[in-house]
Structure 1
Amino acid sequence: MAIVPDAKNWTWVLEKQCPECGFDSSSTAAVDVPRLARENAAAWPAVVARPGVTVRPNDHTWSDLEYSAHVRDVFRRFRLRLELMLAEDNPTFADWDQDATAVEDRYNEQNPAVVSAELVEAAEQIAGALERVSGDQWQRRGLRSDGSVFTVETLARYFIHDPVHHLHDVRG
């Protein structure tokens, strides 16, 4: 079953509450993101341990394992983007086709215990990296390939919506 790719531009979550999951990045302080990332990561091992973790509930929804692997990769990708923004002036982020990655990396065939451990570790890495940001570093800029401009501060607030939203997705 092929999942229909999500082509939405989710940057609007920086301006208002998400009507689907209820999370409000617009009122979230970037300094709270490390804690939120850790709290989010702590919930995923239970998701990955569920019976039927590889079962897709319908033709257009990932399995719990696929969501878990995706969230792990979100933590990893945004840590790399953060590091790039701190190391370079106005870097442009490489495109990331998350749906292609799910297929190419065979998310639904990965070992659930490994995905769980890697997700928690990846969350800790981005949380730690964000905790080391200080002062003017919060205003360093980076650009997505579609032209969306982020500061480290807005990148942190934008990023955290994704794992929160997907935890909502798997909890139903």
Structure 2
Amino acid sequence: MIAGGGTLYWYAKKKGTSLALVLDILAPNVLLAQSIGRWGNFMNQEAHGGPVTRQFLENLYLPEFIIEQMNINGTYYHPTFLYESLWSLLGFVLIVTIRNRKQLLRQGEVALSYVLWYSVGRFFIEGMRTDSLWIGEWIRVSQALSLALFIGAIVVWFIRRQDYPPISYYSDGNKGQKKTIKMVNLAKR
């Protein structure tokens, strides 16, 4: 993670762009990758939730192959891999849908949206899992980390909104191509 972060920072500096923009480009794709990657937990019959009945799984209208794979040593389990996979896929669709709406999000806020979205899902889904590491007896490590990341993202979002004014955008109407121009406040000169 540290090496990856350092590499992203180096890449942004080398290309003369902001790290926030690079993270905005990557964040939705990370959600899609996490959505796909959770199916590895399914194949390995790991990172599942607590015991449930077969009827419970059938009531979720799951395909038979998922129901059978969630039968581990004669006991059926919550398919938490599926919950997290679908949560991440939904987050990917939502973030990709809104990221081009310049009036809604500023640079860096797509990445913050990812952190907020993933943290919420992970906090609740982790509560169903049976293989978690605990901090004491009252909260799981992943839930504490999710809570910290959620609060941190809210704080960063708020600070960025206070410190960085919005950039005005316009379309010049040239064959549907949009040009982004930062409007200069001439009153300050």
TM-score per shorter chain, which class? Answer: 0.3 to 0.5
Q: Greater CA radius of gyration, 1 or 2?
A: 2
Identify the structure with bigger relative contact order (alpha carbons < 8 Å, sequence gap 6+): 1
TM-score between both structures, scaled by the size of structure 1: 0.35
TM-score normalised according to structure 2 size: 0.32
